[in-house]
Amino acid sequence: MTPLTRALLAGLIDYAGLFPPAELGMAETVANYAAYQRRPDSWALARLVVPVARLGEFEAELDRLPEAERLGTRWPITALLGSDPAADRAVVGAFNERHVHGGPVVEALEGRVASGPQIESLQAAIGVVPELYCELPLTAELPALMATVGRVGARAKIRTGGTRQVDIPAPEAVLAFLTSAAAERVPFKATAGLHHPVRGMAPLTYAAGSACATMFGFLNVLLAATLLWVDRPESEAMVVLTAEDRASLRLEQDSIEWAGVRVTADELGRARREFVLAIGSCSFTEPLGEITELGLEPATAAGRGLERGTS
């Protein structure tokens, strides 16, 4: 495993198998997450994404999982908040208390916000633990909202895609988010539409005959964010954020160069530790498989495949 591989992929993927376009059932999602921990590339796996409202369903399916599949597994969870954050915080507190001696634990909460006061009240309702990720709208108010997220000690979240073309933001909007987060020194996660490492035209769902659209690549987002975190120009960040030419992508032991812009493994590792904390994906195998095809193999070559239940 090269320094670049470790810097790029370690603990990168929050597994969101419950969500589109995979939309697996809870049983399949739980079984998949357990199975991924037995893979040689399991070090790229981060948290399991579960709505707070479905934590009870998660517990039931975890209890049904055969002991042989559950043996030695870890269950760190990032839970999605509903319309009543205070009530959800109580549910999470009770959940973590039930498992205080081992097993699953909700480490982070994620919620959508639209105003500064909403961010402040959400942080007050949640408290210091678990971590709080605020999903911010990509509007003109973004800089002020990001400043509030930083001030209350929360983290940011950006949605970079979806199952409809209209869900995919413009590169300028994504760059504005990354620039604002870097300026305020706010760590973040990105989610939705990040199954592929390289930006380009791809199906929006797994359904046969799915419509296609130009989707962001997680490698584009990670490299653009890294450049901004280490005080490189926005113009360079935009170059890599919108790069689609795989021929100009050069992967070395300790650096990556794309469209004439070079990022070192040390820079990428620093940004991953301090800034780009995770990406949410309803697939774990697809992003790693495509990285392998680019010549950057995670661990012992995960190979390409689809999750149980995914078409």
pTM, 2 dp: 0.93
Look at residue 132 and tell me if it is in a domain: yes
Averaged pLDDT for residues 9-31: 97
Find all residues with CB under 8 Å of 162, minimum gap 6, and list them.
20, 168, 192, 193, 204
- 218-246 pLDDT, tens digit per residue, is 999 999 999 999 999 999 999 999 999 99
pLDDT score at 301: 37
Given a contact cutoff of 8 angstroms between Cβ atoms, the answer to whether 119 and 145 are in contact is yes
Q: 203 and 306 in contact (C-beta within 8 Å)?
A: no
Q: Give domain status of residue 96, yes or no.
A: yes
Span 103-132, mean pLDDT? 95
pLDDT of residue 310: 36
Is 48 within the bounds of a domain?
yes
Q: Residue 85, CB half-sphere, CA atoms under 13 Å: how many? A: 20
Report the DSSP pairing between strands 249-251 and 255-258: antiparallel
pLDDT tier for residue 298 given thresholds of 50, 70 and 90: low
Q: Nearest Cα to 127, choosing from 92, 99, 158?
A: 92
- Cα 132–chain centre separation: 14
On the question of pLDDT at 252 being above 90, the answer is no
Q: Give the integer Cα–Cα distance in Å for 264 and 164.
A: 35
What does the pLDDT read at residue 299?
A: 43
Residue 55 lies in a domain: yes
Of the pLDDT bands very low, low, confident and very high (cuts 50, 70, 90), residue 56 is very high
186-221 pLDDT, tens digit per residue, is: 999 999 999 899 999 999 999 999 999 999 999 999
What does the alpha-carbon distance between residue 189 and residue 308 come to, in Å, rounded to a whole number? 25
Residues, the chain: 311
Instruction: Report the percentage of the chain scoring pLDDT > 90.
Output: 85
What CATH number corresponds to the domain at position 50? 3.20.20
Q: Where does the chain show beta strands of DSSP type E? A: 13-15, 45-51, 76-80, 105-112, 131-135, 155-159, 188-191, 200-203, 212-215, 249-251, 255-258, 261-264, 276-281
Name the residue type at position 201.
Answer: M
Could you tell me what percent of the chain has a pLDDT over 70? 95
Distance of CA 305 to the CA centre of its chain: 19
Q: Which amino acid is at 292?
A: T
Place of tokens 């004439």: 260
Q: Which residue has the higher pLDDT, 144 or 254?
A: 144
Q: By residue range, what is the domain housing residue 287?
A: 3-195+278-291
Asked if 77 and 50 count as a contact pair (C-beta separation under 8 A), the reply is yes
Does 186 map to a domain? Answer: yes
* Higher-pLDDT residue of 143, 308: 143
Cα–Cα nearest to 52, from 95, 21, 114, 15:
95
Q: What is the mean pLDDT of residues 38-60?
A: 97
Per DSSP, the three-state class of 299 is coil
* 133 domain-assigned: yes
Q: How many domains does the chain have?
A: 1
**Distances from the Cα of 74 to the Cα of 8, 30, 153, angstroms:** 22, 11, 27
User: Could you give the CA distance from residue 174 to residue 220 in angstroms, rounded to a whole number?
Assistant: 11
Residue 303 reports pLDDT greater than 60: no
pLDDT tens by residue, 254-296? 999 999 999 999 999 999 999 999 999 999 999 998 888 887 6
CA 83 distance to own-chain centroid: 22
Number of CB atoms found within 10 A of residue 186's CB: 21
Mean pLDDT for the chain overall: 93
